A and B are shown apart, each in its own frame.
Chain A
Amino acid sequence: MLMVEGGLILSCLIPALHFGDGTVWPIMASGLFTFNVGLLLLVSFHNAKRPTNRRVSYLLVVAMWVVLPLFGTLPFLSTGVLNRFADALFESTSGVTSTGATVFSAVEWLPSSILLWRSMTQWFGGFGIVLLVLALVPTMGINKYSLYTAEASGADNTGKQTSSMTTNLQQTLGIYLLLTAVFVIALWKSGMHVWDAVNITFTNISSGGFSIYNNSLERLTHGQQYIVALAMLLSGVNFAMLYNFFTFHWDRLRNKLEQLGFYLMVYLVAAIFVIFALRLKMDFGWGDAVRCGVVQTISVLTTTGSLAADTQQWWVPITYLFVVLSLCGGMAGSTTGGLKAMRVLILVRNVRKILRDKLHPHAVNPVRLNHKPVATDIITNVMVIFLVYAMVIFIGIMLLMLSGINATESIGAAIACITGYGPGLGLSGGFGCYAGFTVAAKLICSFLMIMGRLECLTVIILFIPAFWRR
């Protein structure tokens, strides 16, 4: 894993050399260091037993998501763009978890290698490093399925296209690469510099949200903004679905159609509300209102965090709606954060089931999804995740408030970090940044990002004493 990351850092040398901005040596040093540590670990544990235990796989996943951001801080620290470790850790975690919360109030002065590194961590992380590694290293022999459940918490284990995990992952990776390539070309053709196109695609296809401009997407032409919106929209769709779509297996799409419908419906309703609110309450022209509404709403729903305008200034109900939307998130099996459309759908359907039970106490009223009854295991799993998610958010908000952040900002930051949206409310929202947060608050936020990315359960289980008992 670390070798891969080291390799990525090294690849940031290309822009550094190309633009000649004097960050070559620090970047190279951190890249080589990471690479070597990875190599060392691999060599020293070469003969380690292949772990198949569930507990080990939980531990492994969490360890990866802690270690990678730690090494990801190296480029920031070694080039000196960030002096404090907490800042670097925050930025790095935010990248790897594809959150997009930043401590930089302005990013345009940063060396291009650092910019690429930020974009790259998101692109890399957005897909889930674990999935990536599993696809690339099929020979490792770890029980892949248990690792996969650890990461995706089993939200959608009905959704494997083929029986082989490895093929599945390779297909997904293929789609991811394809989308990236398509959108880089599309943006490039629309008149953007290749460098910008690559960065913007990386951060938006991964639902990350880091930007290379101070004012995020506002700099882009309107056409380009719509292209990015499309990229975000697709990044919120289940990758298996995209794969089946592009390979013309359209009959297989049916088993996720309701989730897709729900996702699109939420988007549509929210976007229409935002458009009208912008037009009527904030004196946007129709063109601007539509553009901002369309682009910003999808950015929120997929928890990307790219900004079409400075949302900090927007009408309060819109910002509140954004917080709620980011909690909902895109479809399961995509790069987005949040609860995911499927879970929300199951939660809503379950309420309906209970009302039906009341009306017809002797009938069997299963929760149905795509016309098939959902197994009770999945329902309980969804319920538990929902509850734990809510509790973690709640505790996160309390901790942030204890660290001296005011109530509005705490709510915004906790939810933005756990869902992976990025910009919070108040000073940390819109074009603002998290620089004003205390060290403790930054660490809490970083932790919340990891929690959110791993969907809470995997992380929390490590804190249960029984986990460590033999």
Chain B
Amino acid sequence: MKALHDFVEGKIKPNFEEGAKLHKLWPVYDGLYTFLFVPGHTAHSGAHVRDGIDLKRTMNTVITALIPCLLFGMWNVGYHHYNALGMDVTFFDQFLFGAIKVLPMVIVSYGVGLGIEFFFCVIKGHQIEEGYLVTGMLIPLIMPVDLPLWMLALSVVFAVVIGKEVFGGTGMNIFNPALLARAFAFFAYPTWMSGDKVWINTDVAEGQAVVDGFSGATILGDLATTGATSYSAFEAFLGLIPGSVGETSTLLILAGAGLLIFTGIGSWKIMLSGVLGGATMGIIFNLVAPYALSPEQQAFMAVPFWQQLIFGGFAFGIVFMATDPVSGSQTEKGKWFYGFLIGFLAIMIRVFNPAYPEGIMLAILFMNTMAPLIDHYVVEANIKKRQKRLALKTAGA
């Protein structure tokens, strides 16, 4: 460690110091240095001892929680691909195929996103902040596997520049950047983001063919158009269903949720209230299903409420996107309302929106807009209490 540190300090640092040729790129050096080493900076004002936690460790914990979803997503991509072609291959082949499809998405997401972050940091002379480490992992996990990489790259550009940098970077953004990337792709390239062609890769090599009767639609796609699906709830829970790369396995999302809740890095309040909100809307739909207009909608509404929670991106959104502390509600009381409304709206949009059979993305983005309002009322209640106390006192005096 000492040798490496001496090398970095002695050989590399001088190139970036004041007056050196590469001084403009100091944030890049600083970013890499602080990735390798937690610097020997000491407390200069205030408390002399500090908690061992920092933003890097926090972000890293979230990434760790996402890794099961990523690995499963890779395998799932291969699994569905070979199923579609009617081929019986080994687990390893399935995983390998998926990895070849998904890894480039991860690389493009990080490459483009971090590139822009570095660029802005160099321009502004700021330190590089860790926010994108999680965003960069989330983006490929919420995209369909067949999305062309250049579209992915453009979505990342939009998310980072318009979603984050214009507001001042990490910690300043209003919307969840990863969801903004998805929203951009969805509205800019709708045919690549919905329908029944994009969720399962059906590229055929010579001598291969898609099996007869194959459908690449997701459960929600099926439900919205026909009111029925061929997948069982258990398959949906395990994640053996088509969907965005990382969103399918409720089981592994729960594992990630477990880590986030245990470490306290993801808010259990948002997760729990989100699930409650989704369940509430689901139950309401179950009750009113007989009165729906079309038979398809009747069938969609009649889906048992608990199954709504394991279909589509609901679980992934609630666990990994709604809990983003920057774009979400920041008061502990507010988190209950925030989470509940996300769940509630997600299921509502999912069932009512004919154009797009999933609601979690729009629900979270909408509630991102509303979060400051929720916090405003929570904080205002505290202010009112204080003013009332003062009024009582002055009246009594």
Partners in one complex: no
Residues of B within 8 A of A (CB): none
Residues of A within 8 A of B (CB): none
